[in-house]
Structure 1
Amino acid sequence: MRTSIATVCLSGTLEEKMHACANAGFDGIEIFEQDLLVSPHSPEEIRDLAARLGLSLDLYQPFRDFEGVPEELLAENLYRAEAKFRLMRSLGMDLMLLCSNVGTATIDDDELAAAQLRRLGDLAARYGIRIAYEALAWGTFVNDFEHAMRIVDLADHPNIGTCLDSFHILSRGWNPAGIEKIPAEKIFFVQLADAPQLSMDILSWSRHYRVFPGEGAWELDKFMGHLVRSGYNGPVSLEIFNDVFRQADEERTAVDAMRSLIWLEERTSVHLLETDGPDARYPMQLATLPQVAEPTGFNFAEVKAENTEHVQQLLSQLGFTFRGRHRTKPVQLWTQGQARIIINEQQARGLEPTIAALAFDVEDPLVAASRALQLKATAVPRQSQANEAVLQAVKAPDSTEIFLCEATPDGTAAWTDEFATDGAKRSGQDLITHIDHVNLAQPWQHFDESVLFYESTLSLAPRPSTEVPSPVGLVRSQVMRTEDGNVRLALNIAPLVMEQPGPSAESAYPQHIAFACTDLIALARNAVASGLEFLKIPANYYADLQARFRLAPELLATLQELNLLYDRDETGEFLHFYTATVGSVFFEVVERRSSYDGYGAPNAPVRLSAQYLLSKHG
């Protein structure tokens, strides 16, 4: 599959965008006219730069407001078009995007529109240029891709074809199955965009909220399936209008874009295999990636800091066992049940405690790492001494290091043998069994990128996002998880007023690791006896709790005494508590009773408010 991207997707100058696209591995680009107009370089220089970078110049766009107009205006439009054709000759380009008329169309007549496109085709043919006619979702008379194709058929000109854009088709709810009826030779170009499902006018939706495939709500693998079955074998390009992408680093955005197309190519291949069978053959060849199963659990979580005393104290009070220091590195291991916490003091000067790494149990770490690297993840360099485990790791978009460890039937981890156990002291009974979930704060400009990263590399499925009120604004939360719930990862966007976490900066918005336990009340009493102070929960919360659930007086008194939180639904009960925050890290302990599968969402505003008050007043 040949890949392309419109320069409008990226920030920076045209030249910077071209370098970013080439570095990310794109085959070609669409030149958005405004990017060329503001460039200090001549069309010939842009053409030569593309050649040096190995980029094809696939589409010049957009040409607007041409058809459905009176004869005198058509003459002006043809004059305007010829000027663009001369420019395209200088660029060495042969395909121009023509959008259905929005601003000047006054005649709703398909025969007339086709005749005018035919005249444009005659003019374009003199310059060796083809025209890809696209139905804009808000076009005055033409807003349906099948309507646009009928006009192309009426024009009956070899230089006139159509451009298919997933946004304009799916935002209007048109059935994309009709793509399969279009002759492949008449599909001149294809543009893709995903989008969240929103209720708003289509133009605003298009201009501000498009995202890369896999970052929105649409089933683009099925859209692509129709395209592949049509016999199309040209470029598959991204055209994304998004306020965030236009402000973000162009190199990073280009990598995210390329990852989305690699992921979509694989998803389309799987979709076609499932629907059409292994013997189906198409002109477009779709690459696949190494297949990986869902992770089976968390192997460990890592907290990094210069001063780790308070983190050690919290773990000790929660009943964790100090397993010793690594034999060659300034790294500690703390365990309880199958929950493992690494405390890392390497290269941490001036760093307050932060979640630096997560490790997942996978069937084959080498295959999982290969898949991640092919999806444009960055490998984490690690130095290992003789007789030390070689762990595969890549970086997530928020710089969290993601380790891929071999799953074992008994849940053991060979790398733990590298930690000295002499003098290891137990802190209490193993009531904690494993890591239940992890909550990571995400920089607002990379949230969608993170969702795609975890879905494409680790096969974690996104659940519907939620918004939780905090004292300084709404916190958006997106849970990524395995089907069985053995891995649950919550990605949060904090309100913009709150500083986001970085690899070397303390964050005003905390992140946390949640541990599963068998008896929360017993563990809480043990922790209190060890001196642990829980996050203080206001009395108003417990009054509301009783009004909602009619709890037994003894249970309610215990919850309030220990600052425990409670939730219940038709599947079961949920008890949990939070520790104080150290740096940007705090811990949560949860007990799931029966089949409760949530996270105590009604309690999140209480937690956020309590943390806010503690940060303000101590």
Structure 2
Amino acid sequence: MRTSIATVCLSGSLEDKLYACADAGFDGVEIFEPDLVVSDRSPEEIRALADRLGLSLDLYQPFRDFEGVAPDLLEDNLRRARERFATARRLGIGTVLVCSNVATATVDDDEVSAAQLRRLGDLAAEHGIRVAFEALAWGRFVDDYRRSWRIAERAGHEAVGVCLDSFHILARGHDPAGIEEIPGDKIFFVQLADAPALTMDVLSWSRHHRLFPGEGAWDLGAFVRHVARAGYGGPLSLEVFNDVFRQADTRRTAEHALRSLVWLEDRAARLPGSPPTLQRIADPDVPTGFDYVEVKAEDTGDVEAVLGQLGMTFRGQHRTKPVRLWSSGDSRVVLNEQHARDEAPHLAGVGLRVTDAAVVSDRARALAVSPASRRTQAGELEMAGFVAPSGLEVFLNDRDLGDEPAWVAEFEHGHAADPSDPASGGGVRAVDHVNVSHGRDAHDEAVLFCTSVLGLRTPPATEAAGPHGLVRSQVMRSDDGRVRLSLNVAPGGVRHPDHVALVCDDVVAVAQRARERGLRPVPVPDNYYDDLRARFGLDGQVLATLREHRLLFDRSASGEFWHFYTPRIGRLCFEIVQRVGDYDVYATDNTPVLLAAQDRMDRAAAAGTPTAGRSGGRSS
């Protein structure tokens, strides 16, 4: 189907929005009336610009508060409509959105509303315009799409049909299956928006919290399938009111929006019973595990020291680049000093194991994801990659050489891997999860990237209190849990370190050996252990072990979680975790402890006070 977007979704001037939509690859746009009103371009100039950019102008909206009124007000409404229709014609737009009345309706009668829409249809036809009647979720009398269709059907006018908006239908909990009972040629327009599951008044929910498809709680794939099965042949258009998008970069938001539409149509096309009018892209290939994590800095020496303390092995220097590899079991950390002048250590990329990298690359291209490329020399493995919204580079690998990825052979003069060592000594054996911090303006786009490109799913988001405000965390994961990406949004102006969590079978042994090698873990206050005793009733020996090694602890109905953190190294830290039983979450209650400890360490470092190794009055 053709793609379209309402200009209300984007920041900037009307001209900025048109350029951004064309560059992103949209077929058309809806002109939001306030965007035209404040523009210094005439309707004819806007129409000419859209023509030059290859954009159709699909809808002029909104015309408000028309039906269900007294006769004297109806005449004034028809006068208003005549002016709006004339403007639409100047723009070259053939469809005008008419919202159900929320303010001036006094007559709750379908026959009256239908008769008034019939009058409106007569006027619209004189201008070569169609009227798309939409049931607003907060309409005075008409707040259900089934009633708006009943009224439009009774109007019996060829210029009167309906507009179906997923928000107004799903926010009210209405069953969208009834869409299939509406003739496709009477569905004049379809608008799409996702939304988080919130408990609030529907108007505020609509005006501030809509999301692009794939970012919220609704099954928009099924909604689009119903629309397609009804025989609708017009554009799928986005109408997303969102405070973040209206302040974000116009071009980036437009690209993000188109990606959501491509993903949604593909998702709908894969549902049973979907008609062939819906287009599919390359199949998703969910990653099967982490191939590596990449840390970049001008000097990665401090990171190497910590990796050695955690029991990882230096595997060698890359034969052509200033890049070194450390590993333990199936966990691999690549340290990259190339093109990193003045950069502190930070998480720069992740490698993911996939079944077929070419298929994932094809899907990423269809979703207009920015590629990431690296220069390779003869004999070096070329890996497909792309850039996530946070700037993280994601590379794909589907090639092994023996028991390891093929690219490992490019590293020389290190120590050979000893797969038995981590297992026998309880040491680090794999990457458990990766935490990525980014700004609020990139969060929704990052969620969509993980679902649409990587095929990860989204358990409910969590929030944790930090010293500077709430930190929101959204874990993206594969069904089997082998790939977990935690996307974290900190309060404005705060940048928490990214961190890499490495899983082991004996966290106490890893912690003890790390301290013997000089690691001083993030200090945990004694008050925390007093709280653990109260929460879980832990016996004295277990508490003593936790306290001695500054370990954190959590328990669920399925098992236990033991873990500790290294101090921040630049913009990065490491976490060592042990999952006991079937524990499959992330000890969210411990996050405030970490955030507060990191904040104390940061303030102490800024003040030059050597207190990072003290906790609760005693040495850690």
Which TM-score band (shorter chain)? over 0.9
Instruction: Determine the structure 2 residue equivalent to 1:577.
Output: 564
Contact kept, 8 Å, 2:184 with 2:232, in 1: the verdict is yes
> What amino acid is the match of 1:322?
F
Aligned to 2:81: 81
- Distance in 2, Cα, partners of 1:583 & 1:256: 30
Distance 1:425 1:399 in 2: 31
* Contact 2:376/2:382 (8 A) holds in 1: yes
Residue 162 to residue 409, structure 1, CA distance change in 2 (3 Å) = farther
Q: Distance in 2 between the 1:170 and 1:152 partners?
A: 20
Q: Secondary structure at the match of 1:379?
A: coil
Aligned positions of 1:170-569 closer than 5 A:
170-271=170-271, 274=272, 276=273, 281=275, 285-406=277-398, 408=400, 412-422=404-414, 429-430=421-422, 431-498=427-494, 508-569=495-556
Cα distance in structure 2, aligned partners of 1:35 and 1:100:
21
1:296–1:407 CA distance, 2 compared to 1 (3 A): farther
| Aligned twin of 2:118 | 118
Runs of 4+ in 1 over 3 A off after TM superposition: 407-411, 422-426
Separation in 1, partners of 2:270, 2:251: 29
Note the C-alpha offset of 1:213. Answer: 0.5
- CA offset at residue 294 of structure 1? 1.7
The one-letter amino acid paired with 2:287 is P
Deviates more, 1:235-244 or 1:347-356: 347-356
Query: Contact between 1:393 and 1:404, CA under 8 Å: does it hold in 2?
Result: yes
Distance 1:344 1:409, change over 3 A: closer
Aligned to 1:65: 65
Alpha-carbon displacement from aligned partner over 1:471-529 (angstroms, at most 9, x marks no partner):
1111111111111111111111101141xxxxxxxxx3111000011211111111011
Equivalent-residue separation in structure 2 for 1:257 and 1:6 (angstroms): 11
User: How far apart in 1 are the matches of 2:275 and 2:360?
Assistant: 28
Measured against aligned partners, the alpha-carbon deviations of 1:575-615 in whole angstroms (never above 9, x if no partner) come to 11100001110000011112111122221111111111111
Partner of 2:618: none
Secondary structure in structure 2 of the residue aligned to 1:403: strand
Paired amino acid for 2:446:
S
Paired with 1:132 and 1:425, the residues of 2 have a C-alpha distance of 66
User: After the TM superposition, which of the residue ranges 257-266 and 63-72 deviates more from structure 2?
Assistant: 63-72
Counterpart in the other structure of 1:49:
49
Deviation of the 1:218 alpha carbon: 0.4
Structure 1 residue identity aligned to 2:70: P
TM-score if structure 2 supplies the norm length? 0.95
Which moved further from structure 2: 40-49 or 7-16?
40-49
8 Å CA contact 2:13, 2:39 repeated in 1: yes
SS of aligned partner of 1:140: coil
Cα distance, 1:408 vs structure 2: 4.6
Deviations 1:193-240 (A, max 9, x none): 100010110100000000001010000111111111111111110000
Preserved contact between residue 292 and residue 363 of structure 1 (Cα < 8 Å): no
User: Secondary structure, in 3 states, of the residue corresponding to 1:462?
Assistant: coil
Distance, in Å, in 1 between the alignment partners of 2:350 and 2:377 is 22
Q: CA offsets, 1:254-286, max 9 Å, x none? A: 111111111110110111xx3x2xxx745xx11
CA contact under 8 A between 1:380 and 1:394: conserved in structure 2? yes
1:163-185 superposed Cα distances (whole Å, 9 cap, x missing partner): 00000011111111110111111
Distance 2:441 2:92 in 1: 35
For the aligned residues, what is the CA RMSD? 1.6
Contact conserved, 1:472 with 1:497, CA < 8 A, in 2? no
| C-alpha distance in 2 between matches for 1:393 and 1:462 | 22
1:603 aligns with 2:590: yes
Contact 1:574 1:596 (8 Å CA) reproduced:
yes
8 Å CA contact retained: 1:296, 1:407:
no
How many residues were matched structurally? Answer: 601
Confirm or deny: 8 A CA contact 1:65 1:103 kept in the other structure: yes
The answer (yes or no) to whether the contact 2:564–2:575 under 8 Å persists in 1 is: yes
Distance, in Å, in 1 between the alignment partners of 2:581 and 2:68 is 65
| SS of corresponding position for 1:469 | strand
What do the CA deviations read for 1:414-437 (whole angstroms, capped 9, x no partner)? 1111111257799x9531101010
**Helix, strand or coil at the partner of 1:290:** coil
Task: Say which SS state the counterpart of residue 196 (structure 1) adopts.
Answer: coil
Tell whether the 8 Å contact from 2:228 to 2:278 is kept in structure 1 after alignment: no
Contact in 1 for aligned 2:285/2:359 (Cα 8 Å): no
Are residue 588 (structure 1) and residue 544 (structure 2) matched? no
Structure 2: how far apart are the matches of 1:63 and 1:407? 57
Q: Per-residue deviation at 1:554?
A: 2.3
Q: Aligned in 2, Cα 1:422/1:106: closer, same or farther, shift over 3 Å?
A: closer
Q: Offset of 1:411 from its aligned partner?
A: 5.2
Q: 1:175 to 1:424 in 2, by over 3 A?
A: closer
* Secondary structure in structure 2 of the residue aligned to 1:461: coil
Q: Contact (CA 8 Å) 2:325, 2:332: kept in 1 or not? A: yes
Query: What is the rounded CA distance, in whole Å, between the counterparts of 2:108 and 2:284 in structure 1?
Result: 53
Partner of 2:27: 27
What's the secondary structure of 1:586's corresponding residue? strand
* Letter of the 1:308 counterpart: T
Q: What secondary structure is seen at the aligned counterpart in 2 of 1:544? A: helix
Structure 1 position 327, deviation (Å): 1.1
Say whether the 8 Å CA contact 2:399–2:406 is kept in structure 1: no
Partner-residue secondary structure (3-state), 2:60: strand
Deviation digits for residues 349-395 of structure 1 (CA, Å, limit 9, x no counterpart):
11111100011000011111111121111011211100000011100
Give per-residue Cα distances to partners, 1:447-474, cap 9 Å, x unaligned.
1110110111111111111111111111
Cα drift, residue 547 of structure 1: 2.1
Q: Which residue of 2 aligns with 1:505?
A: none
Q: 1:114 to 1:292 in 2, by over 3 A?
A: closer
Question: Does the aligned pair in 1 maintain the 2:296–2:346 contact within 8 Å?
Answer: yes
SS at match of 1:378: coil
How has the CA–CA distance of structure 1 residues 111 and 148 changed in structure 2, closer, same or farther, with 3 Å as cutoff?
same
How far 1:292 moved relative to its partner?
3.0
Q: Which amino acid aligns with 1:316?
A: G
Q: Secondary structure at the match of 1:543?
A: helix
The CA distance in 1 between the partners of 2:40 and 2:536, in whole Å, is: 68
The one-letter code matched in structure 1 to 2:67 is E
Amino acid at match of 2:378: A
Tell me the secondary structure at the aligned position of residue 420 of structure 1. Answer: strand
Structure 1 length as normaliser, TM-score?
A: 0.95
- Asked if 2 retains the 8 angstrom alpha-carbon contact of 1:574 and 1:590, the reply is yes
Give the corresponding residue for 1:503. none
- Residue 544 of structure 2 aligns to which amino acid in structure 1? A
Within a 5 Å distance, the mapping from 1:134-149 to structure 2 comes to: 134-149=134-149
CA separation of 1:103/1:322 partners in 2, compared to 1, >3 Å: closer, same or farther?
Answer: same
